[in-house]
Chains A and B, each alone.
Chain A
């Protein structure tokens, strides 16, 4: 910070906004061995209306150490980290750096205390360049707040070079692949002299080989004396990277283990609270006739770019085809096009031999296609509606739910009662708003609605994203039941584990094309290579 930038701050009346406390001297830059700082969360409790997200949680991490925080979705990990980063205020408990309690009222306090965070959903402004994102909130300025672009670029380049985080400072973030965006996030944290870096589910958006690259970065940071908190629900990764593993369940820390003492099975049991079968039970598939045939399909995304680029594949009755791939490679557009929600640019889609390319979503639905959309809250449900209303959301116009122009609400209630029972939806009643249900139960409502007829084709996108293990197991078993009953099933998921557990055949999608086809028993390495577009072109820009 030069004198001009200080002047700029004073001129724009922002002096002190970003520096509410003095920075902790960066130990890493001086000498890593002199003194190792410790970051400690002590007796943290966070009460949301109706939910106790964190219940007396304790956690410590020292510089030069990697701690994995493991837990199911909804166990309270992210809440805890948001407290640590000053985004939430805890109901009780405190955060200490080197045994000194610090006031955490906003992220600037966390930044000042040397804490950096790489969020699960990147905190990057898509329409800004890399360097603008990195300096945001801590801008090098000349007179009158004019941003010193050169210094900004240099800041990015310095950190890039130091940690091997290659990225061009002048590219717009929205034009970067996900892996590079994550690097920008890391650079952003490091440029603020973070001594502790928190990674929230960092690998969920990466391909298997990108994960390896990411682990190298983490090793580098650790070697440089940074303290790392690695939040995940993936057991293998925690075992691989962590020095210590802390396990959370329902807002409490239930165990702290060292990787060499545990197995994946043991970790899963600690995480869920009961023994978990990590393998899905399913018999050999018996594929019959082709149900879905996709021929040279191309689809544009919202920005007019080719998202699906000439895909051809088929799905047969009695088999599960899984589409693997990092999110954002055209899966969303593919599914929307297959279900009639988005027009295609070229190509044809056949359903049971009939050309359905230009059919409406309703017409396709009527051909006994079940669609479990990727975002249940945004597109699968109407949250302020009751369970009953959501159960009839796509059949309200048909007899017996409708009688001419009128709704037959008693019939609708009967159906809802039956499905709630049949699909094990945990709810006080059918007239409860779905918004009050847990994620797993919401997803079960959708699955119940979609599967409650003779389905010929199931299209399920991210069917178990963000829900508890019990519901995951349940939904997986329902999907396999549908297959065994003779339906063709197309699963789209960015969780490779899920794809591998369910699929009889695996297609890998990369930049709108099929980058590889495997049978259900292919290895993660093989598939991972295809997820990068085949020959390891990780950085196609």
Chain B
């Protein structure tokens, strides 16, 4: 039964340190452990004298055959040394503010050491990997932007997954029947519709927002699976919409490394960039943003200055749904060009984690999206290299990262103050 003294579990050990200091200790220890790990596994695990080659250009690029070769073992040693140094600095707690930066640098180095180890004695397309990172970050980023649009006005949207899935489904069918642009419109409208459903349930009926989201997810999964089996299995011509093809941006697309990463994609990726930047400035510098944020932070205050809280909430939740619809279209009209049951596989939830990780800010959300994109790209590309790590464990990476993010290892952000609270007037 219950321990007599609750202190052990309840108050924790760090009783007389500030939270920031306590976090610094945790991060410092993590960095030291990583240093030892890199030394042991990646450095000593690579044979002496073997080199890793990173290709920095795609096969048909203008500057061909850019590559970078490093000694695998020595790189491991160097990374391990830097990690130990960073860990030591953080543990001294003299500059608590830099904890996150040290952690970020440390994790990037670990990822790099890992790649070097995995590619030791082989050649690995680094630019291909980074490109995949950007592409795979797009659905996560779009999902996160959806969540952000809603939560900034105080509505928790856990239905992103269902919105993506349904939009992907509708995009496929409409796209197959009337062309990909029609499919795109259909998907965006579907997202808007589901956004409206969430808004009505949460705002009008004041259902608990998490339950409303879960319901939409179950409904979306059930309905799309049902229709896929009952309709798509018989009318297979409705499940091949074709895809949007990539357009290279002149000049920019030819820059080494950055060109293939950012400027040689299909329209979805460019629109995502524009959305991220546009929403960031919109949210923090315009009337729309000020009003939206006021509704998410203090709806009563917004109401007392004549802002219609319900209207702002409806509008933003529906707009958020449209972003999710766009993300759903990306899945079936750009990535795979067909619908499969439950094809989103948790992307919507990872998007939520990215939203928290990105601290409810569009630019932050994009950065978080890239982290998740990298994790998924890693899982895809490592299969080619044939590492001894079972593929199941690589598949777990994004989900484990998500848990680490929401557990606040990267520091706690403050959500909008009225997040999840229905506004009750009169």
Contact = CB atoms under 8 A, between A and B. Distances in A.
- Touch between A and B in complex, CB under 8 Å? yes
Interface of A: 8, 12, 14, 17-18, 85, 87-89, 106-108, 111, 117, 119, 121-128, 132-133, 136-139, 141, 144-147, 188, 192, 300, 304, 343-346, 358-360, 362-363, 405
Contacts of B294: 125, 128, 136
Given A125-B297, A147-B287, A106 B308 contact: yes
Closest 10 CB pairs of A and B: A108-B306, A137-B305, A123-B301, A145-B287, A145-B286, A360-B6, A123-B304, A139-B287, A125-B298, A125-B297
Nearest to A116: B304
A17 B307 CA distance: 7
Given A139-B287, A358-B11, A343 B6 contact: no
Contacts of A89: 426
Contacts of A138: 305-306
Nearest to A300: B18
B307 A136 contact: yes
Given A89-B426, A146-B285, A343-B15, A124 B301 contact: yes
A144 B285 CA distance: 10
11 contacts: A12-B287, A17-B308, A87-B303, A123-B300, A127-B414, A144-B286, A147-B286, A343-B11, A359-B7, A360-B10, A362-B6
A110 to B, nearest CB: 9
A304 B15 contact: no
B178 interface: no
Contacts of B1: 405
Interface string B272-310: 000000000000011110110110011011111111100
Contact of A8 (B10, B287, B414): B287
B230 interface: no
A279 to B, nearest CB: 38
Chief secondary structure at chain A's binding surface:
loop
Contact of B302 (A85, A117, A137, A363): A137
Interface size, B (range): 20 to 34
Nearest to B311: A17
Given A147-B286, A188-B305, 7 more contacts: A17-B306, A106-B306, A107-B304, A108-B306, A123-B305, A128-B294, A137-B302
A132 B16 contact: no
B15 to A, nearest CB: 5
B396 to A, nearest CB: 33
A33 B285 CA distance: 42
Contacts of A125: 293-294, 297-298, 301-302
B5 interface: yes
Contact of A363 (B5, B286, B306): B5
A128 B416 CA distance: 12
B20 interface: yes
Contact of B426 (A87, A121, A127, A139): A87
Interface of B: 1, 5-7, 10-11, 15-16, 18-20, 285-288, 290-291, 293-294, 297-298, 300-308, 414, 417, 425-426
B306 A111 contact: yes
A172 to B, nearest CB: 12
A270 to B, nearest CB: 30
Nearest to B18: A304
A449 B290 CA distance: 46
Nearest to B1: A405
Contacts of A107: 303-306
A98 to B, nearest CB: 21
A355 to B, nearest CB: 13
Contacts of A147: 285-287, 290
A199 to B, nearest CB: 14
Contact of A345 (B16, B288, B426): B16
A128 B303 CA distance: 16
Contacts of A362: 6
Contact of A117 (B285, B291, B304): B304
A517 to B, nearest CB: 27
B7 A358 contact: yes
B291 A136 contact: yes
Contacts of B18: 300, 304, 345
B426 A88 contact: yes
Contacts of A363: 5
A107 B1 CA distance: 55
A111 B426 CA distance: 18
Contacts of A128: 290, 293-294, 297
Q: Of A123, A188, A304, which is in contact with the most chain B CB atoms at under 10 Å from its CB?
A: A123
B5 to A, nearest CB: 6
A318 to B, nearest CB: 31
A17 B308 CA distance: 8
Contacts of B286: 141, 144-147
B11 A360 contact: yes
